[in-house]
Structure 1
Amino acid sequence: MINENAIGLFDSGIGGTSIWKEIHLLLPNENTIYLADSKNAPYGFKSKEEIIDLSYKNTEVLLNYDCKLIVVACNTATTNAIKELRAKYDVPFIGIEPAIKPAANLSKTDIIGILATKGTLTSELFHEKLLSYPNVKIIEQIGHGLVQLIENGAIDSVEMTELLESYLNPMIEQNIDYLVLGCSHYPYLIPQIKKILPSHIKIIDSGEAVAKQTRNVLNQYNLLNTGNKKSSHFFYTNTNPDVLKEILKDTKNIIQKDF
């Protein structure tokens, strides 16, 4: 079956493009539409009700483009709103959650770190997941200020380095051997993080797992695009598109639009 309708993705800004890249790598035939809700970033310090309302808004924009599946490419939106989204809309949803399971299963020290937003770490869904790993010590750290710096194009700034050192050094001292990145913005910080972490500490994010789950659900609902046309990709942002253009250097269809 040739289903050319796009996969829709949304995030509280540019971070979810790290998820988009993994999906495009695994499913190059699929058309995509991405919403960067940078005007409302970060979601991590908003109330659950605000996050749900923003998730409804983004979903309805994507449904107006006839998206066949929606990826909530934001940990905070997933952990606070995925249940409500699935209850309200008929379209399949893929969520993104911190990759605690592989880190917990692979850890030799049984001590792992997680760097995430306040909205993710304080969510009910996140705390439900933690109950599955009673024998693993999980050191949680809110990444205050990281999303804002990424959204402002300051990934390689001195301020970013100082913040990351203040968050990661206490984890290193507590003998973590895995660091879970619990925000879709944070994979863009991996080069910076690797300069701080000792080489034996492994970094895990959710991008590849989300891409595989997207493929599985498209298969399950018979929604895969099996056509041979070159795929199309549109990226919409409701603020200045310059940072998005920097992150997606070879992409043409980056459009500033209010939503």
Structure 2
Amino acid sequence: MTATGSVHSWDVSTAVDGPGTRFVLFLSGCPLRCLYCHNPDTWHMRDGHRMTLDEVSAEMTKYRRFIEVAGGGMTISGGEPLLQRDFTAAVFRRAKELGLHTALDTSGFLGTRASDTLLANTDLVLLDIKSWDPTTYRRVTSGEVAPTLTFARRLSDLGKPMWVRFVLVPGHTDAPANVEGIASFVAGLRTVERVEVLPFHKLGAPKYAALGIPFPLERVPTPDRALIDRVRDQFAAHGVRVW
């Protein structure tokens, strides 16, 4: 039987979902509820549409040559891809058969669901470490940070390349001690190639309005240049390559 998954959408993008030009598959369903999430339309698996592995493969194949020339690959994002681990594993296996570089965009919250086989077909993990302080993490995401940290250590031990992502939200994730905790942790991992400091934005606000859901951070300002520079400098002080 051909594997199927709940897919929100797919797109072709450059430089934001891994190296080069990439075919990005967005899966539906996520166990977290981040206050700053800009894709609330991906929260529930029931809101996606069913696609078979062969259907996804056909779309990837259309762009295969273009992606190869552009030095890219394919990325599975979400939602949370590991909520549909079997489908994610099947898509990555097919992508490797097509000769494509693969990237997994994940919070790591469901890292225990990632089998060694799935990770063997994963060339890069885009790991969102949303906070260091457990209380802050719980308030911002409704989840626990420990599973993400455990997953990060596992990836490091496996020699799996990582790009760590940190969303900077004024008044929520910007406390110096919180940033320092992540920076120190990341510096101790062997395979982190870079840290991306992502300034909070409100581009997803219209989606909340369309869904009739209040946007939790409507009154929160976007970070100014001074704050962004301070946080970037904190990571850099630990010898981390910052983007």
Q: TM-score range by the shorter chain?
A: 0.3 to 0.5
TM-score w.r.t. length of structure 2: 0.34
TM-score w.r.t. length of structure 1: 0.32
Structure showing the higher strand proportion among its residues: 2
Structure showing the higher helix proportion among its residues: 1
**Structure with the larger RCO, 1 or 2 (CA within 8 Å, 6+ apart):** 1
